[in-house]
Structure 1
Amino acid sequence: MEKSKIGRRFEGKVAIVTASTQGIGFSIARRLGLEGASVVISSRRQGNVDEAVEKLKEEGIEVFGLVCHVSNAQQRKNLIEQTVQKYGKIDVVVSNAAANPSVDPILKMQESSLDKLWEINVKTSILLLQDASPHLSKGSSIVFISSISAFQPPASLAMYGVTKTALLGLTKALATELAPHTRVNCVAPGFVPTHFASYITNNKTMRKSLEEQTSLKRLGTTEDMAAATAFLASDDASYITGETIVVAGGASSRL
C-alpha cells in the first residue's frame, strides 16, 4: 500500500515481529512502522537483519534489529530484554516464524522433522510469549500467523498444516488466558509468492491452479497479509479476540 494511504494507528507503540527480514514478516514490520510503531525485527542471520533495518530506516521507520533464531532460548530472551531496555514496553507481538523441513506424508516423516515442525511452528511461539508477557502493556495485542492449510492440510504440507491448526487453538486458549488486558488473534494467509512458498508459486502450472481456486483469481501479496495483521493489532479491532481471519482471496475451506 502507498505510504500516503496509510494511517498512524501505532503512534507511540512498540511492536516485535519475528522472522521479519523478508516476505510476510518484513511487510508486517514495514506496515506497523509506517503507521508509527517502533518495530523490532529479527531473523537468524545478521546480514539479513542489517539489510532489512536499512530498508526500513530509508522509509523513516523507527526500527531496531536483532538476530533471533526462535528455537534459541537465549536469543529469545535477548530479543525481549533488549526491546524493553530500549523502548520500555511491548504493545504488539507478531509471531511469524515457521519452518517446513519435509514434504513427506505424516506417517513416513522422520522424528527429527516432526520435532522441528512442532518446535518452530508452535512451541517457540509459546516460549517467546512466556518471556514477553510480563512486559505487555495494558491494551496490548498478539497476532499469530497461521495458514489456510490449518483448515485443510494439503498432502504435500500435511504436518505443516497440522502445526498451523494448533495455532488456531493456541489463539483461542491464550485469548482467554490473557484477557482482558491483551487481545490474541490470528491471520491465516492463503498462498503468497514468497521465498518460503517459492517451490509452489514458481511453478507456472501450480500457480495458475492456485489462482483459479480463489474467488479473486490472484494470489495474495505480503501487503495483503500485513494489512490484516495491522488491523487485528490495532485499536480498530479492540473488541476482537480469539479470532482467526482467513486472508486468501476466497479460497477457504470453512464456512
Structure 2
Amino acid sequence: MLGAIPIHNPLIRLYQDEALLAVYKPAGLLVHRSPIDRHETAFALQYARGLNGGRYVYPVHRLDRPTSGLLIFARSPEMASQLAQSFSQRLVDKTYLAIVRGWPQPRGHIDHPLQLESIDRHDARTLPVQTATTDYQTLARICLPIAVDRYPQTRYALMALHPHEGRKHQIRRHLKHISHPILGDIKHGKGTHNRLIEHHFERGLMLACSRMTFPHPATGERMTLSAPLAPHLQMLVNSWGWQQAVAALGLPPLNCPPE
C-alpha cells in the first residue's frame, strides 16, 4: 500500500511521455519500502504517483537512499517490462558523479566481484558472489592544505563512473576497493575525511546518478536523460572550482521548484 499522496512533493519532473516518467530524486528519500527502514512512511514511488495524476507508476531501477539524481519509472506494466529487459540486457548506459578521497588515475576499469549483502546483519549464511565491473574517468582534482591522519594535505577528485551491472552499492564498494572512497559514505567511506568535509564544507553522500542513455520502451530509439546535481554536491563543486568540469557534462540546472 502506498498510502495517501502527500501534498508537498520533493521530486522534480525531468521528462514524461506516455511510456515513462523521469524525475530528480533528492538525497535522503527511499525509492520504495524497505525492511531496513520500516518506520518510513513516504517514498519516491509514492511521490511519483502524485506526478502521474494519482495513477500507479512502476520502478525499473533504484537509487540508494543517500544517492540523489535521475530516477525512471514506467507508466504501465508493459513499459516496465520493456525497461526492465533493457536494464537486464545491459542496454542502459549509466553515468554517476562522485567526489572521492585521493587522486585516481585519469581513466580506469574496476573488475571486482561483489558478494551479495544481506539485509540482516545476523545472517551467517555465505551469500553468492556476482561479477561487477565499473569504468571511470577523473574529471577534476584538488589538493587542500588541511592535515588528515599522517598527511599534511588532503587530495580529492571528481569522478564520472559507468557501472555495467546494478549490484547493491556497486560504485560505493568499488571505489572503496581501489582506495578512493566516496566522501560522505558512512558505510564504505573513511570517517576522518567524512568528518572533515562535513565540518568545513557540506554533509551528505557525494554520489549522484547524473545521466542514462537507453532504448525508449515504446519506440526502441535511443534517448538520453540527465539530472541536475543536488545542492550539497553543487556546493562542493563551487567551493573547489570545478564548475567548468561539471558544465562540460551539460547537466540541467536545479532551478525548478518541487511540485
TM-score scaled by length of structure 2 = 0.30
Q: Which has the higher helix share?
A: 1
TM-score scaled by length of structure 1 = 0.30
Q: Which has the higher strand share?
A: 2
